[in-house]
């Protein structure tokens, strides 16, 4: 079969599988379940992880950075309330607060809560100022997970915009969920680097709907971010992605239950 026909065939197969509901999508709460009273509407807080666990979502995503004194902390941006994470110590960062009053969670704090349920911990290794620091962050995460006995492929998976970090995880932890985020590489290129999955912005799958089936044909997992509208949820459900990452996990649950 020539490559064009093969792509059409895989695309049809994905639509059929999606239509027949043979493959239920998993719900991943983006930065925890934070658009709720329990979390004080504060993403990447311990309360947002707890709310994701309590609502029974498959997974809860969070972002990590490394402080100047090599402590892994959970935060989306490279700074908190104007205080740079990489330029400051953990102790200095504790003098500010998240919007719900919590201190910035260390990864240790986060994993202590993470260990309380079977909700998958979807750990995003944020690119640091240099690749060297990004890999130091990845290594520190693995050590911390080992300390909390969470270095287990059924409990944690990794995502990153850093291709180097994904490659490092693939080498160190074969068999763990490991998805590349940038969306600039086709599934074959990611697979050739030993990386087991793709987690792309949903618009990438509009440009390349065949990438879902092409990734599946290689045994890769497919995740899409950050999917907050009902129509996009339905599109990705029907395309047959494995995981949908959303700020609106209750809406996604409704969409998936209706199929
Ligand atoms: Mg993230």
Strand partners, 15: none
What average pLDDT does this structure show over 98-121?
98
Taking ligand 1, which is a single-atom ion, which protein residues have CB atoms under 5 Å away? 63, 124
Take residue 34 and report the two structure tokens written for it.
């934070």
Backbone φ and ψ for 63, nearest 5 degrees, come out as -115, 145
Inter-residue contact 120 to 58 (CB < 8 Å):
yes
Local confidence band at 259 (pLDDT 50, 70, 90 cut-offs): confident
To the nearest whole percent, how much of the chain has pLDDT over 70? 91
Q: How far is the CA of 5 from the centre of ligand 1 (A)?
A: 36
> What backbone phi and psi angles, to 5 degrees, belong to 68?
-60, -30
Cα(69) to centroid(ligand 1), Å? 22
Model pLDDT, residue 20: 41
Report the separation in Å between the CA atom of 40 and the middle of ligand 1, taken as the mean of its atom positions: 19
61 contact partners, CB below 8 Å, separation of at least 6: 28, 29, 30, 31, 32, 122, 124, 159, 245
State yes or no: pLDDT of 79 exceeds 60: yes
CA of 200 to the centre of ligand 1 (A): 12
Q: Are 211 and 198 in contact (CB under 8 A)?
A: yes
CA of 122 from ligand 1 middle (Å) equals 9
C-alpha of residue 6 to centroid of ligand 1, in Å = 33
Question: Pairing mode, if any, of strands 83-84 and 79-80?
Answer: antiparallel
pTM over cut 0.85: yes
- Least confident segment among 21-30, 35-44, 139-148, 236-245: 21-30
pLDDT value for 17: 46
């Amino acid at each position: 079969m020539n490559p064009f026909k093969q792509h059409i065939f895989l695309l049809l197969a994905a639509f059929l599988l999606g239509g027949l509901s043979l493959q239920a999508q998993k719900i991943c709460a983006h930065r925890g379940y934070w658009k709720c009273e329990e979390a004080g509407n504060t993403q990447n807080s311990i309360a947002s992880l707890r709310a994701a666990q309590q609502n029974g979502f498959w997974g809860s995503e969070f972002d990590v950075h490394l402080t100047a004194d090599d402590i892994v902390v959970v935060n989306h941006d490279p700074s908190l309330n104007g205080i740079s994470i990489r330029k400051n110590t953990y102790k200095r960062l504790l003098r500010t607060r998240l919007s719900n009053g919590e201190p910035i969670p260390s990864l240790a704090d986060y994993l202590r809560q993470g260990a309380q349920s079977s909700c998958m911990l979807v750990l995003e290794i944020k690119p640091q100022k240099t690749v060297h620091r990004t890999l130091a962050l990845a290594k520190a995460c693995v050590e911390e997970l080992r300390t909390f006995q969470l270095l287990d492929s059924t409990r944690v998976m990794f995502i990153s915009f850093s291709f180097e970090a994904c490659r490092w995880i693939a080498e160190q932890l074969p068999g763990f969920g490991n998805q590349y985020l940038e969306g600039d590489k086709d599934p074959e290129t990611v697979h050739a680097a030993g990386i087991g999955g793709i987690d792309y912005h949903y618009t990438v799958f509009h440009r390349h709907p065949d990438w879902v089936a092409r990734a599946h044909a290689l045994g890769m997992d497919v995740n899409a971010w950050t999917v907050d509208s009902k129509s996009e949820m339905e599109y990705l459900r029907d395309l047959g992605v494995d995981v949908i990452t959303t700020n609106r996990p209750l809406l996604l649950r409704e969409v998936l239950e209706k199929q």
